[in-house]
Structure 1
Amino acid sequence: ILHATSRRLEAALWVKDEKDHASKGQAPEDWVAPQVFGGPRVDKASERNLRARGILPAGMFVVPAEGARLDQYGNMSRGQMIQILSGLGALEYRAGFKGNATQSARSLAKGHQLAYFVMRRGRRPIGIAERRGRTLTMVLAFVRQPQYRVRFQFHEVVR
């Protein structure tokens, strides 16, 4: 933000196009741009992890399904996503660190390794399901790349 002054009667507002060195993840421009311009959604870290393990097919993306725990904004619970990635062996934050479920007694007691599995229609993976007792619920569905519509009239509001 560039504030107006008594000598310069105009202000400027822009979205950072690079992330600062203290933050992880994407630059602000990467997640604001689809809201301003519309268009395709970029990969999430969880999708990259699932692709690296060969679980998520190329060109497919994940969206919450009926069994997903959602927060107040409609986003999937971070805790459940970590349980899913851990159970499927796809939880790797950075090189050298893995948070995957193992065969240890502690890990097996949590049950995530047995609870989550890839659901298929024929040979084609269609999502990730959760097995609890005798109940099966789909928690993540595999879909084509989501397309965002313009939701934030950034340029019109700034003018």
Structure 2
Amino acid sequence: MRIDIRNNFDQVEAALNIAQRQVPFALARAMNLTGRDVIAAERDEMSNVFDRPTPFTLNSLRLRPATKQDLTAVVEVRDSQRPNHFILPQIHGGARLQKRFEELLVQRGVMRADERAVPALGAELDAYGNMSRGQIVRILSQLQAFNLAGSDANATNSRRSKAKRQREAFFVSQGPGKATFGRHSWSKGRKLQHLQRGIWARIAFGATGTTVMPVLLFVSRAVYTPRYRFDEVAQTTITRVFARHFDTTFADALRTARPGGGA
């Protein structure tokens, strides 16, 4: 088969020029649509991997869109430059760095730098299984750790503070055979105890009864193995959807193109 375009070469050349001008526009749109599909697939993966991921976790990804001038679309973890980002150990493995309240406990001398605090029986958890901020604030306040953060929220000897401590008083166990830490501990540092290392609460019930309950237990620094397949999910999604998106965006670009250029 022979195609002769000698008689309409100018028209063919113009059509090819229009198509060529539309390629960067179509590529940028296809890449951005693909990026959105990657984020949707990553959110599904988070829901499968994590136990009740919070909206904050599900929305932790963002798209830096491509343009005609810069044909690069990037799906990335928000604030991923922070070394203690909570999601990075789930992707790359390694040890979880300390959270801010753990850093304050270390500075207060309650925890060791190589330890992490995990919720125990007395921890107040939210709907997503995370420890409530309110209880963390009460613990830091009673253990006089807030002054390390430049705050004056530490518990005082006011009538209101004392009344709260009568109902719930936090203290630190340094482990079996050690003295307790904290002026509100059940032994008040006068004798050794058998409680596991961590933060405990002395809770009043009824007229005169009290009980102790673990709130946070101190454990050796946990090392995670990668379980969130971020790169694999992204690449699989790109392979599945990009060609289809480009076919659609390129056809749309040609259909709406003006002979003078642009779309």
TM-score under structure 2 length normalisation: 0.51
Structure 1 residue aligned with 2:199, among 117, 122, 128? 128
Tell me the amino acid that sits aligned with residue 142 of structure 2.
G
Cα-to-partner distance string for 1:113-155 (whole Å, 9 max, x where unaligned): 9710012311287011101121110001010001223232111
Shift of 1:38: 1.4
Equivalenced residue count is 150
CA apart distance, 1:6? 7.8
Q: 2:229 aligns with which of 148, 153, 156?
A: 153
Greater helix fraction, Structure 1 or Structure 2: 2
Q: After the TM superposition, list the runs of 4 or more consecutive aligned residues in structure 1 that deviate by more than 2 angstroms.
A: 1-12, 14-18, 27-32, 91-95
- Residue 12 of structure 1: aligned partner: 74
**What is aligned with 1:104?**
158
CA contact (8 A) 1:35 1:152 kept: yes
1:117 aligns with 2:193: no
2:135 paired residue among 71, 80, 95:
80
Aligned-residue identity in percent: 41
Question: What stretches of structure 2 of length at least 5 have no aligned partner?
Answer: 1-62, 180-195, 205-209, 236-263
Q: Which of the two has greater strand per residue?
A: 1
For the 8 Å contact 1:84–1:112, the answer to whether it is kept is no
Shift of 1:158: 1.6
In the alignment, the residues of structure 2 paired with residue 71 and residue 114 of structure 1 have an alpha-carbon distance, to the nearest angstrom, of 19
Contact 1:65–1:138 (CA<8 Å) still a contact in 2? yes
With over 3 angstroms needed to count, the CA separation of the structure-2 counterparts of 1:71 and 1:28, relative to structure 1, is: farther
The 2-side partners of 1:114 and 1:29 are apart by 31
Instruction: Report which of the two structures shows the higher radius of gyration computed on alpha carbons.
Output: 2
SS at match of 2:87: helix
Q: List runs of 5+ in structure 1 lacking aligned partners.
A: 19-26
Contact 1:49 1:92 in 2 (8 A): no
Look up the match of 2:144: 89
The answer for the alignment partner of 2:87 in structure 1 is 32
Cα 1:110/1:7, change in 2 over 3 Å: same
Residues of 2 paired with 1:87 and 1:100: CA distance?
6
In structure 1, C-alpha distance between the alignment counterparts of 2:139 and 2:166, rounded to whole Å: 7
Amino acid at match of 1:56: M
Pairwise CA RMSD of aligned residues? 2.6
TM-score in terms of structure 1 length = 0.80
Superposed CA offset, 1:57-79 (max 9, x none):
23111110111111122111111
